[in-house]
Amino acid sequence: MLEIVVETENAERHVRPTAGELAGLIRRIGGAGDRFLIVQLIPDLPDVFLQVWHEAGGAWTLEHRDGGHGRHFGTAPAGPEDVLAAMTGWARREDGWDAGHAWSPVDTGPAVEVPPLALDPSDRAALEEHLGEVLAAGYATRAELAETAEEYLVIEDHRPVSRAQAWALADRMWLARVGEQVAWRGETDPERLTRAFTALEAAGLTARESFTCCRSCGRSEIADAGRPDARGFVYFPSQAAESAAAGHGLALYYGGFDGSSATTTAVGREVVAALAAAGLCAEWSGDPDQAITVTPLDWRRRLIG
């Protein structure tokens, strides 16, 4: 798999595609509503990306940005195979991935100065504390973190944080978290959890991490989140992820789509077994009306973006 995220014009999001899957995405673009791809690294870094544009019957355009203002370049590749070679080389951090192309600077307009935040110290502390909690949970993208920064202190028509200021604050805190995770070694507990959820999904359950904001919203939406033939479900909302990141364990909610206690109990046993196979401990009484709690947890979820 490639350590990238690919976003399409038609709002698809492909996390860690294989080289073959990336090739398929590149070769298919050109039709209405599916004319470009934007590719970011994992973890996402501000102002670092590749993007390709192609409209059926027209030329190909490939661009890359490598840092701040003035570091945006474009070229006209011969076709999809040239794009694929450049993108896979870039994704693998290969030296010379950009060789063989005539790159020219792309004019993105003048640099924009972002005014410093003018917040009451208590408001700033509350905002940064909340953003820190979202980052620690580990599921937000940079865009979602910036949106949270912009909206968190809004009261009616009073918007003390502009969009540009929100992005600047979010990116500063994002990069600090990326720096912290460089020292992490090996598989983390959240990655073990993802491995368990992947196995449960493959076994016929709808398994979703950080799904909706709360338990009740998740329960009302989980039936539409997976395959129509799913036997049952397991999920935890974003509130539970933030609680786990704060050291309180992780509550998992599960059940069968037929609504029976017997199916819910069977799904619960399946979830506990998958967690154990991934190396995680679960507390559960066997009561189908009780959540499964994953504890203890060392919650260090690597950012994706």
Average pLDDT, integer, range 58-70: 94
Residue-wise pLDDT tens digits, 108-141: 999 999 999 999 999 999 999 999 999 999 999 9
Domain ranges of the chain: 4-105, 121-181, 189-294
Q: pLDDT band at residue 74, thresholds of 50, 70 and 90?
A: very high
The backbone torsions φ and ψ at residue 245, rounded to the nearest 5 degrees and listed phi first, read -65, -25
Reading the block at residue 249, the tokens are: 């364990």
Cα distance between residue 43 and residue 26, in whole Å: 22
* Total Cβ atoms within 10 A of residue 197: 23
pLDDT at 63: 98
Asked if residue 68 has pLDDT above 90, the reply is no
The Cα–Cα gap between 137 and 117 comes to: 25
CA gap 7, 14 in Å, rounded = 6
Q: Which two tokens stand for residue 128?
A: 């940064």
pLDDT, average across residues 78-93: 97
**Owner of token pair 């070679």:** 85
Predicted confidence at residue 107, as pLDDT, reads: 94
pLDDT at 234 over 90: yes
Strand order in the sheet with 205-208: 205-208, 232-235, 250-256, 292-294, 282-283
Tokens coding 270: 């399946």
pLDDT at 225 over 90: yes
What SS3 state is found at 95? Answer: coil
Assess whether pLDDT exceeds 90 at residue 227. Answer: yes
Task: Provide the 3-class DSSP secondary structure of residue 56.
Answer: coil
pLDDT of residue 269: 98
- What sign for the dihedral angle of Cα 265, 269, 275, 281? positive
In one-letter notation, the amino acid at residue 86 is A
Reported as a single tens digit per residue, the pLDDT across 254-282 is 999 999 999 999 999 999 999 999 999 99
Q: DSSP string covering 205-224, please? A: EEEESS-SSSHHHHHHHGGG
* Whole-number pLDDT of residue 273: 98
**Span 181-216, pLDDT tens digits:** 999 999 999 999 999 999 999 999 999 999 999 999
Residue 44: strand, helix, or coil: coil
Average confidence (pLDDT) over 168-178 = 98
- Please say if the pLDDT value at position 80 is more than 90: yes
Predicted structure pTM score: 0.93
Q: Decide if 4 contacts 86 (C-beta within 8 A).
A: no
- Mean residue pLDDT of the chain comes to 97
The DSSP call for residue 226 is: S
Q: How far is CA 19 from CA 4, 7, 155, 218, in A?
A: 11, 15, 46, 34
How far apart (Å, rounded) are the C-alpha atoms in residues 112 and 127?
Answer: 24
pLDDT digits over 148-159, tens only?
A: 999 999 999 999
What is the per-residue pLDDT for 189? 98
Judged by DSSP in three states, 230 sits in coil
Per residue in 292-302, pLDDT (tens digit) is 999 999 999 99
Q: Which residues contact 262 (CB under 8 A, 6 or more apart)?
A: 256
